[in-house]
Amino acid sequence: MITLENLETVFHQVFDDHSITLQRETTADDIEDWDSLTHMNLVIALELKYSIKFALGELQKLKNVGDMLDLINKKAAR
């Protein structure tokens, strides 16, 4: 089971900011450097870390970090 704390370490690496704390409600608007371009870095980092693959456009439908965590756990369990 991947937790918010686990995700935080990936966010720290991707955004080079160890002060980031994640809540389920966190969105891209809450993290300074999270834009459409750094988002690709996040996708690659998550895929590598958890040996999963996101389908094209799959992440665009997520509303917040909580949704992202649920999707990652679903994929990792397969």
Partner 1 sequence: MSYELIQNNQYNIGHICTKQQCEAGRGKKTAMRWFSPRLERSDYTFSDLEGSSNRFANLLKGLGIAKGEVLFTFLPKSTEQIVAFLGSLKVECITGTLFSNFGEDSLLDRLGDSAARLVVTRKSLYRKIERIRDQLPALRTIILTDVAADLSADVLSWPHLMADASETFAVPVTTADTPSVLHYTSGSTGKPKGVLHRHGSVLQQSHTASEVLGLGEDDLFWCTADQGWVTGTSYGIIGPWSLGVTQLHYSGGYDAGHWLDLLQRERVTVWYTAPTALRMLMREEQELYQGLDLNHLKQIFSVGEPLNPEVIIWSRSCLDKEIYDTWFQTETGAIMIANRPGVPIRPGSMGTALPGIEPGILADDGTELPAGSQGNLCLKAGWDSMFITYLNNDSAYRSKFRDGWYYTGDMAWQDRDGYYWFLGRSDDVINTSGHLVSPFEVESALLELPEIAESGVIGVPDELLFEKVIAFVHIDAGIEFTAELELKIRLHIANRLSSVAIPQEVLQLERLPKNKSGKIMRRVLKARYLGLDAGDISTLEE
52 binds partner 1 (CB under 8 A): no
Virtual torsion, Cα 70, 41, 27, 47, nearest 10 deg: 0
- Sign of torsion, CA 65 44 14 51? positive
51 binds partner 1 (CB under 8 A): no
With H, G, I as helix, E, B as strand and everything else as coil, classify residue 73.
helix
44 binds partner 1 (CB under 8 A): yes
36 binds partner 1 (CB under 8 A): yes
Q: Which residues bind partner 1 (CB under 8 A)?
A: 13-14, 16-17, 19, 27-29, 32-33, 35-38, 40-41, 44-45, 48
